[in-house]
Chain A
Amino acid sequence: MSIDDAAPEELALIGYEKLAAHGFALPCFARTPGANTVYVARPSRPGDSTAPIEGFDIYEPEEIQSLPPEKRIDRARVGDPWVDVFLWGDDVFAGTKPQIWSSIAGIRNDIAANAPLSLLNLAEGVPGVATGDLARAAFAWLERRQSTDAASEWRISVYFRGIAIRTLRRLLKTAAYTSRIRRALQSVELVQNDTTLSLRLPAPIPETLHTTATDFGGLIRAAQEFGFHLIIVDDESATPATTVQASHWSKKLSRSDAQRKSTGNQRGSITLVQAGYPIDGQTYFRRDFFKAAKWVGEITRTSEVRETAVISFKVNFLGKDLGALPLSVTYAPNREANQTNYTSLLHLGPLAPHVGATDVTGKWLRLDRRTDGSYALSILDRAAP
C-alpha cells in the first residue's frame, strides 16, 4: 500500500455535489484542489448534526462543483465538527452549521419564505435557535402550498419521525447499525390521536434499549410546539399484559412527604425511592412497578423533561376506604442530576385534603401492584408485614 492509499485523517473541503439548486449539497474533500481522488466525510452518528467526522470515504462524483478559493476549508480532520455546503441563489456557504447560520443572517427571511424545510434542517444543528418556530412555519408553508394533509404527513413522517430515529440511533449506539435493529427502525411509527402522539417501538428495540419518553427530550419539545403530548408504546406493553407479577413497596413517610416541612413550600408529593428494597430507586417505578401505565412526556415550565402517568389507586387511608382515586406519578431523570436522589414522585392530588387534615409523619405508605394490573395505596400506622 502506498501512502496515498492510506485512509486520510485530514483533507480539505474543495467542492460539492449538488442535490438541488438550493439547500444542502454533498461536501467533497480532497488532499488538494484538483486532486484526482475525491472523498466524502463519514459521520460518527448519521443524520445527527452534532456528530463529528468519523472518517473519509472515496467517492466518485458525477458533476463536482469547485468551491471558490475563499470558501474552501483547508483542514477538515477526523474528529472535527461536521462541515456543510449550503447553496442559496448564486451564493455558496461552507462551514459548520452555526457558521453557515451566521453567514446567512441577511438572507434568512428570503430562505424562510421559499425553502423553510432546508432552513429548519440547518437550524437543527445550531445551538440556541428556536426550531419550534421554524417547524411551525414549515408546516404552515406546506399547508398553504400543498394541503393540510400533506403538511400533517410531513410533520409526522418526516419531521417528528426524523427526530425520533436520530434519537434512537444515538441511544442505541453501534447496535443501531445491526441488521435486526435497522429493520426494526424502519417500523418505528408515530401515530397521532387527537393531541396525543404515540411513538411505537417495535421489537427488539424495547428490550435492547429500555427507553422511556424522557430519553426523547427533543421529540417531546418538538411535539409540544404543535400542542401534542408524547407517549412511548413498545411491543411488550402494546400486547395484553398476561404475566403481571404482584409486587409491593412501602416507605416510612418523612415530614416532607407528610407536607409538614417547617420551611419553604410543601412539595405536594411523596418521593418514591429505594427505601431499603433491592431495587434501583432511580428507575424502578418508571420501568418496572408502573411500567404498564400510560406515560405522557412533556417539557415543564422549568425546561425539565418529565413523564406523567395518571394511575387509579384503590386507596385506604388509615383504615378508611376512600375508593378509587386517580393519582399522578411523575418521572424526571434529571431530578437525579440535580442531586435530589429521587426521580419519581407520587403527587397527592385528591389525597391532599386527607394528608392536610391528618399529620402522617412517621406513618407508612404502601403501594401494591396486583396480578390483574390494578394498584392499591394504603397509609398505615405501622409497617405492613
Chain B
Amino acid sequence: MNAGTPRRPRGNPAKRELVELAADSRPNHPLEPPDLVHVTSVGWGRRIVATSRIETRRCPVFERDLIYIFMARPAYRFRDGDAKSAQISRFPFVFVISPQALGDPFHVYPFDTGAYVADVYGTTIDPTLYLDDYELTPSIEATLQHITWAFGSKTAYFEGALRVDLADSLPFWRSVGRGWIDIANLAATGRDRPDARASAIEIAYARSIDLRQGHVRLLVFPQQFIEDARGQNADFLAELGKLGLAYKTYDWRPNETPDSFTDEITRIVRRHFDDTGQL
C-alpha cells in the first residue's frame, strides 16, 4: 500500500469480519454471477479496442499492476485509481465483461478503494480500522455471498439498496461490519447524491483481459464513434467487427453533465442485465 494509506502495525492481523459475516449467507438458489463493468475514458476505450486488450496499469494504492472492475455497477474508479476521473466522467466508455473465464481476482473489496484512500467517504470511515479489514475473499463466489448477506439480491445490489434489517442484525462489537454499512449507506438511493462507488464491489485482476477471448459482452460508447467521418472511425469499427463485440451507443453532448452520462449508462447496463436475465 502506498505512503498515504495508514499502515497496519506488525502483529495486528486484518479482521476480515465481512468474510465471516457473509460466510453463512447461502442464497435459496445458487446465484449466477452478473457481468462485471469496467468504465474508462473514450481515449483509453479506443486504445483498448485497438490493442484488443484491457491492460493492467500501475495502481498507486496497492503498488501493483492491476485492472479495476466493479461487479455489475457502472461506477467508475476514483482518480487515485487508474485514470483521470474528469476524463472518465466527461467521456465515459464502458466494457461489460463476463467473469466466467477470468480466473480468481487479485483482490475483492466491498467499495471503491481509490475513493476510500482519497478520503471521499470522509467521516464515515472508522479511524480505528485499516483498509484491508474490509477485504473480501478474492473469489467471485465470495462476492455473491457478500451480495446475499448485505443486499439480499443482485437487483438490490445493483440499486445500492442494503437489507433494511442489516444494521440491526449486527452486534455492536462487529466494528468492521458496522463501519462498512456506514460507508455503503453513501450509495443508498434515498440520499441527495448517492455515490454508487461506496458499495460497489471492486474486483481487481492482476492480469490483462484479452478481448479476443470472448470475455466482453457489451461496449457502451458515444454515438459519434459509429459515424465514419472520412474513415476516421473505420479502424475502430472494423476492429469491433473483427472481435465480434456487441455495442450500444449513447448521445454524447457537450452541454450534458457527468451525472447525465452516469444515468444514461446505468440505464443501458441495467437493460443489458434485464435482457440477459442476470438480475
A interface, CB within 8 angstroms of B: 17, 19-27, 40-43, 46-49, 51, 59-63, 82, 84-85, 88-89, 111, 114-118, 121, 142, 145-146, 153-154, 157-158, 162, 177-180, 182-183, 185-187
* Cβ 8 A contact of B223, one of A26, A85, A158: A158
Are A43 and B257 in contact, CB atoms less than 8 angstroms apart? yes
Given A47-B260, A179-B191, A183-B189, A158 contacting B251 (CB threshold 8 A): yes
CB closest residue in chain B, given A53: B255
CB closest residue in chain A, given B41: A62
Are A19 and B227 in contact, CB atoms less than 8 angstroms apart? no
Are B259 and A118 in contact, CB atoms less than 8 angstroms apart? no
B126 within 8 A of A: no
Bound: A30/B235 CA distance, A: 35
- Listed A/B pairs (28) with beta-carbon separation below 8 Å: A19-B224, A21-B233, A22-B224, A23-B224, A27-B254, A41-B255, A43-B255, A46-B255, A47-B260, A60-B84, A62-B84, A62-B86, A85-B254, A89-B229, A111-B229, A114-B227, A114-B228, A115-B224, A117-B224, A121-B253, A145-B226, A146-B226, A154-B249, A177-B259, A179-B192, A182-B259, A186-B263, A186-B270
Question: A23-B229, A46-B260, A118-B227 are known contacts; what are 5 more A-B pairs with Cβ within 8 Å?
Answer: A17-B90, A24-B224, A47-B253, A48-B255, A114-B230
Are B250 and A25 in contact, CB atoms less than 8 angstroms apart? no
What's the nearest-Cβ distance from chain A to residue B190, in Å?
Answer: 7
Most interface-central of A24, A27, A153 (chain B CB within 10 A): A24
Name the B residues within 8 Å of A142 (CB-CB): 226
Given A114-B229, A121-B251, A158-B251, A46 contacting B257 (CB threshold 8 A): yes
Bound: A25/B225 CA distance, A: 13
Bound: A117/B233 CA distance, A: 14
Name the B residues within 8 Å of A89 (CB-CB): 229-230
Name the B residues within 8 Å of A49 (CB-CB): 255
Are A47 and B224 in contact, CB atoms less than 8 angstroms apart? no
B267 within 8 A of A: yes
CB closest residue in chain A, given B252: A19
Are A117 and B255 in contact, CB atoms less than 8 angstroms apart? no
Given A22-B232, A24-B254, A179 contacting B260 (CB threshold 8 A): no
B179 within 8 A of A: no
B87 within 8 A of A: yes
Bound: A89/B189 CA distance, A: 44
Bound: A381/B250 CA distance, A: 61
Name the A residues within 8 Å of B6 (CB-CB): none
Are A42 and B257 in contact, CB atoms less than 8 angstroms apart? yes
Name the A residues within 8 Å of B86 (CB-CB): 59-62
Given A19-B91, A20-B224, A154-B223, A178 contacting B192 (CB threshold 8 A): yes
Name the A residues within 8 Å of B270 (CB-CB): 186
B43 within 8 A of A: yes
Name the A residues within 8 Å of B224 (CB-CB): 19-20, 22-24, 115, 117-118
B29 within 8 A of A: no
Are A185 and B263 in contact, CB atoms less than 8 angstroms apart? yes
CB closest residue in chain A, given B255: A43
